[in-house]
Amino acid sequence: MRTIKILVAIMLVLGMTACSNMKGRDIGTLAGAGIGAAAGSQIGGSGAANAVGALGGAVVGGVVGHQVGKSMEKD
């Protein structure tokens, strides 16, 4: 369990450094997908429905986040 936590921490640090030159639409897509996946997994229930809810939420959240980020770049 400790090894998994260390690997997740390393992946998060590497992921944050990769985000330094992202555009607004990229950040919106990632944020929307993350929020959508979290919300979808809560709505989905348990078992396979949880995974389906998280996947559907990530897709919808990513699309919405991308559009919001794109519209914010125009201003």
19-70 pLDDT, tens per residue?
667 778 888 888 888 888 888 888 877 788 888 888 888 899 989 988 988 8
Query: Full-prediction pTM beyond 0.85?
Result: no
Identify the helix (H) or strand (E) that includes residue 26: helix 24-44
User: Residue 50: what pLDDT?
Assistant: 81
What is the C-alpha to C-alpha distance for residues 15 and 30, in angstroms, rounded to an integer?
Answer: 11
What is the C-alpha to C-alpha distance for residues 28 and 69, in angstroms, rounded to an integer?
Answer: 5
User: Residue 64: what pLDDT?
Assistant: 92
Q: What is the average per-residue pLDDT within 3-27?
A: 74
